[in-house]
Structure 1
């Protein structure tokens, strides 16, 4: 009996060892499956203009990406944006230019004048050439057009990035819901408060003493405005009114006033704007009066000091930044969204050249070689975007500083000598062609 009991005990121990081994194998297999499900070739943080443009550009090249968006849906803060020659070149490369052209009117020129009633505005007509194409595009329509080009499931909503860590040649992307993604390439398109930019060593953008109020007015039966960009400036105020199409007008006011707290009610914001533009024509003031309170937003203007980009890591290892995460700027030359689209096309092309590389001998690259090519591709992107970003930030700041300077002498000097120059400077900054999405696999 004792011998039989010992034998039975041995059998039981053996059975438990086999059972534990089976469970261990199941856990290990489950862990590997979860790791595979959590691994991505490219993770893009932020479903704004630069993030979606990059994802669409990669998709056009046959490369899939995952776009993480912290909100529950696409965000269209700012309502609309001016799109110049460089933006249309990027949209053509991405394949959605004609759709957006059909929805928005082409502007024929500018009407520029002082915010006071002292001097009537002057007109500057735009030549009917490709390089002078300007339209005011609904931000929501732009984001929806980009998102519609992506495969289902590309955008992952309610996915907020909170932490980045190394994992060999990969990056581990930790989200606020506790999930973790492992990625070969991490692209930060997460705006002025970018987590990815901070990881790369960027400082927080500089906060200016200027506030921007933006709005979008809807006119069901038509607004009656000519296809012009109406702009007014002086006494620390710069304002603009731009028709998007027959039924909507986008407007903005930037100012250096300290009378308005950022938590002010929408009613007080609207009244503040009306006080600022009280001397402008009635049809201009009617645009603000018609705007619903839900269609207004106010924010403090920020920018990245251009000299920071001289030594900053736009790209490091397999991580880079684009859009406002790279070059936040004041809106004075209308290039924030336009340059974000440039970023998307150029970044997609540089990554495409790295990822789609084929060894001439038909040999498969190992992981180390693949990682190195991605690193080189991102450095190429950074090299192409550094000086362009510096130039845009500087031009934006200078134009805003001149147009919002106070004093009669400065207003007179701007009116007599700088008004035409500043308008032409905006056009000059837009004369940039980001190129197509064709890649060189040499």
Structure 2
């Protein structure tokens, strides 16, 4: 891991073997991850482009879903893992995620003949502006630019405009970052406002109710400052799967208890992480020149320790065991 200032000066270089043995950072392209997971399912198990129009509970306690195309689905257990704008979360009483005051450009630089970078994370810090890049494959490099903004701004979908804005924002920064953006295909560059939702005890709705449960960003959207959003969603999936498998061995009547147990267990993990990610982002987005000078000359070079910095990644949810379903659920 390498940290630089906006003028390209190296502030600190970390080696895991020296400062946090056993730790590692792995960057995975989201598309590859999703395809890998989907390929483990039967070919007809996933219905794409199927937005939920209406959710109701029937007299048998089942959840009825009506899709925009008119299709109706009945489910004994409904798992809402439909992202930060989840209609299922809204139906359960959750508020919209809160804008945190930062936006981000993100993209994938493409090097058809092979990318030239070492397998490490590179961060560049400016004033109210930061960026980073990391290889995700032999030919692709993920990059981001995070900047302060008083409002989310208008949605821009023209990739040429997005690329131009991103490059203007970091004009004069290290050339390798500008080159990565230059080599970013139009269909991979996005600009999004950063949002989160703090699951305050008592105040926030439960993550499960009457056979309906939330997973990932639908329940606990967090800012990407710790790189744990997708990781937590995968953790959710493993823990929930185990709870459901245990419940099915007892009988369908125990399903709600299983969902409630999942929420209690996961809340202790995701609530602190959401807050921590938010606070880390606020600190990294400092604009004050004096504070940024202290950060670059003292905090990063002398005070930051890699082990505590990555402590939040130390979570072991144990592998899942294959089990037969005695009580199939939809």
TM-score where L is the length of structure 1: 0.67
Q: Label 1:175 to 1:425 Cα distance change in 2 as closer, same or farther (>3 A).
A: farther
How far off its partner does 1:202 sit? 0.9
User: In the alignment, which residue of structure 2 is the partner of 1:410?
Assistant: 291
- RMSD over aligned CA atoms reads 2.4
CA contact (8 A) 1:113 1:231 kept: yes
| Counterparts of 1:424 and 1:330, CA distance in 2 | 21
Which structure 1 segments of 5+ residues have no match? Answer: 1-109, 358-364
| Counterparts of 2:238 and 2:137, CA distance in 1 | 27
The alignment status of 1:385 with 2:266, answered yes or no, reads yes
The equivalences for 1:59-78 within 5 A come to none
| Counterparts of 2:234 and 2:119, CA distance in 1 | 24
The equivalences for 1:264-275 within 5 A come to 265-275=158-168
| Counterparts of 2:235 and 2:45, CA distance in 1 | 21
CA contact (8 A) 1:220 1:247 kept: yes
Displaced runs of 4+ in structure 1, greater than 6 A? Answer: none
User: In the alignment, which residue of structure 2 is the partner of 1:163?
Assistant: 54
| Higher mean C-alpha deviation, range 207-216 or range 130-139 | 130-139
User: In the alignment, which residue of structure 1 is the partner of 2:327?
Assistant: none
User: 1:282-310 CA distances to partner (integer Å, 9 max, x unpaired)?
Assistant: 22221111112222011111110242686
User: In the alignment, which residue of structure 2 is the partner of 1:107?
Assistant: none
* SS of residue matched to 1:302: strand
The alignment status of 1:427 with 2:318, answered yes or no, reads no
User: 1:123-177 CA distances to partner (integer Å, 9 max, x unpaired)?
Assistant: 0111298841321111111111100101121111232112111112211111111
User: In the alignment, which residue of structure 2 is the partner of 1:111?
Assistant: 2
Picking from 256, 280, 298, the partner of 1:375 is 256
The equivalences for 1:158-307 within 5 A come to 158-167=49-58, 168-257=60-149, 261-263=154-156, 265-307=158-200
Picking from 8, 21, 27, the partner of 1:136 is 27
| Counterparts of 1:425 and 1:237, CA distance in 2 | 24
| Counterparts of 2:115 and 2:304, CA distance in 1 | 30
Which structure 2 segments of 5+ residues have no match? Answer: 325-330
| Counterparts of 2:65 and 2:306, CA distance in 1 | 43
How far off its partner does 1:426 sit? 4.5
How far off its partner does 1:265 sit? 3.5
| Higher mean C-alpha deviation, range 283-292 or range 322-331 | 283-292
* SS of residue matched to 1:155: coil
Which has the larger Rg?
A: 1
The alignment status of 1:120 with 2:6, answered yes or no, reads no
User: In the alignment, which residue of structure 2 is the partner of 1:94?
Assistant: none
| Counterparts of 1:236 and 1:262, CA distance in 2 | 21
How far off its partner does 1:187 sit? 0.7
| Counterparts of 2:248 and 2:318, CA distance in 1 | 19
* SS of residue matched to 1:121: strand
More helix by share: 1
CA contact (8 A) 1:211 1:255 kept: yes
TM-score where L is the length of structure 2: 0.89
| Counterparts of 1:423 and 1:197, CA distance in 2 | 36
The equivalences for 1:28-107 within 5 A come to none
CA contact (8 A) 2:2 2:10 kept: no
| Counterparts of 1:283 and 1:209, CA distance in 2 | 27
User: In the alignment, which residue of structure 1 is the partner of 2:328?
Assistant: none
* SS of residue matched to 1:151: coil
